[in-house]
Chain A
Amino acid sequence: MLCHNKCKIVFRLEQRCATCTPNSISYVRLFSNASLASPSYLCPGDKLCSAENCIPGTGVYLRHGYVYSSLAGYVLKKNEGEKLPVISVVRETEVQLLPDVGAIVTCKVTSINPRFAKVHILYVGSTPLKDRFRGTIRKEDVRATEKDKVETYKSFRPGDIVLAKVISLGDVQSNYLLTTAENELGVVVAHSGAGAQMVPINWCEMQCPRTHSKEFRKVARVQPEYLQA
């Protein structure tokens, strides 16, 4: 579809070209060498421009005096204080927020084991993530006191929403390592066997409002101003 203005740049999705959005970061669409007529995303290997016109940023590489793209995505051209613009290729229009060491993340428990619990990280701080990263909460990282007497079954269950802190990014194959060894970290939302959302009683128990049965969890002490009625 055509840009809303009379400029003839064509986009695949409803977007605005650089000339019509003066305030935002400009997305300059450069035609790739392969397809001039049809609009397309950039592929790895597409020639962007010569190295004299721009400084290469992320997602591009230099070869024989030309700048080529190494990712599949959109071109990003930033004019900073230096003379030449910085050209880079990004996969998504927004920058992905990655969980960093020390960040508080919200995750959902997927499976438990006598030694650890596997979780899917859903939110970093208060921003939701597009992909689900995987995390692990080891048995010794569940609480700060009496680490060897921790029973995973009495701390988490599959389906619980947990507030945790990242302690390590892990290797290539392992997941993020998380910990709940603080008063403010732990299970926030849990459902009982009957299906009702449970109410916390103290730091290690939650009660179902329907069947009045108590279940063990490592409960997070959420500040009262964050609790909704």
Chain B
Amino acid sequence: MFSSLKERTGEVLLPGDEFSFEAEDTISLAGPVKPEKVVCGPGLRRSGDRLLVCKSGVLRHKQPNMFWVDSQQRRYVPAKGETVIGIVTVKSGDVFKVDFGGSEQASLSYLAFEGSTKRNRPNVQVGDLVFSQFLIANQDMEPELVCIDGSGRANGMGVIGGGGLLFTVSLGLVRRLLSPHSEVRSDLQQLFPCELVVGMNGRLWAKASTVQQTLIISNLLQSCDTMTAQQRRALFRRVAQGAL
């Protein structure tokens, strides 16, 4: 199975494709054979003795034995620990309801901000943008957000100030922006200075020195979603020349 998975790395897989133990994977009588362990990531699922593909996408491989399917989607499914940008919709008593683009709204307690106590409430209004992370996120319970980390510090989270622009992109672009040596980010840095908040629910908030530059950034990011690296660099170069 390991060999068949490795062969198809980089190929597009569809849900319903399966990998099973083949005849070549028999145990040789000559020497000791160690069974190779395969670690399934997102998009792959084990069912009995077969490996099923559940998402359509490209099969990726990471040494030594990790396989997963890279898929594109725009609908965000909350997961614990991920930071997202949400919009406060309801302020009722001690709890805010935040819309992050999922199937239901998440709850955010007013005590979950840095330095907030029962007397000292945070200044959050309906319609504010909040950058927070998930404390509880599963399919059986209502998701819960917090704006502090485990030690009680904000760490960049909290209410996002005014003046910027919020726009949505696909989840794949967000992951590419957040990866350690992101090409998209380095290309963007060469354009003009801007402030960018990246939420893993596909929402980005950008703020540059002028409104025009902010709009240019948002248009660029939304359009470079489906471009190859070369097309993207060509586009950025054109914009840089036009702006200067």
Instruction: Give me the interface of A with B, judged by CB distance under 8 Å.
Output: 111-114, 152-153, 157-158, 194, 210-212
State how many angstroms separate the Cβ of A142 from the closest Cβ of chain B: 15
Q: What residues of A have a CB within 8 angstroms of the CB of B138 in the complex? A: 153
Contact: B46 with A153, CB < 8 Å?
no
Chain B residues lying within 8 Å of A153, measured Cβ to Cβ, are 136, 138, 140-141
User: Which residues of the partner chain B approach A113 to less than 8 Å between Cβ atoms?
Assistant: 141-142
Chain B contact-residue range equals: 10 to 19
Contact with A along B8-32 (1 / 0, CB 8 A): 0000000000000000000000000
Within the complex, what minimum Cβ distance (angstroms) separates B43 from chain A? 14
B:26-53 near A, CB below 8 Å: 45-48
With A114-B136, A153-B136 as contacts: A211 and B141 at CB distance below 8 Å? no
Interface centre among B46, B140, B142, B144 (most CB of A within 10 A): B140
A162 to chain B, nearest CB (A): 15
Task: Select B140's contact among A157, A194, A211, A212, beta carbons within 8 Å.
Answer: A157
Q: Which residue of A lies closest to B48 (CB)?
A: A210
| Closest Cβ–Cβ distance, residue B19 to chain A (whole Å) | 15
Listed in ascending order, the chain B residues whose CB lies under 8 Å from chain A are 45-48, 136, 138, 140-142, 144
Which are the 3 A-B pairs with shortest beta-carbon distances? Answer: A211-B46, A158-B140, A112-B140
Q: List 13 A-B contacts (CB under 8 A).
A: A113-B142, A114-B136, A114-B141, A152-B141, A153-B138, A153-B140, A157-B140, A158-B140, A194-B45, A194-B47, A210-B46, A210-B47, A211-B45
Residues of A contacting B140 in the complex (Cβ-Cβ under 8 angstroms)? 111-112, 153, 157-158
A125 and B181 CA atoms in complex are apart in Å by 62
Which residue of the partner chain B has the closest CB to A211?
A: B46
How distant is B38 from chain A, measured CB to nearest CB, in Å?
Answer: 12
Interchain CA distance A111-B144 in the complex, whole Å? 16
Residue in contact with A112 in the complex, picked from B46, B47, B48, B141, CB distance below 8 Å:
B141
Q: Shortest beta-carbon distance, A13 to chain B, in Å?
A: 43
| Cβ–Cβ < 8 Å partners of A211 in chain B | 45-47
Most buried by B among A111, A114, A152, A212: A114
A152 CA to B136 CA in the complex, in Å? 11
Q: Please indicate the chain B residues that have their CB under 8 angstroms from the CB of A157 in the complex.
A: 140
Residues of B within 8 A of A114 (CB): 136, 141, 144
A151 to chain B, nearest CB (A): 9
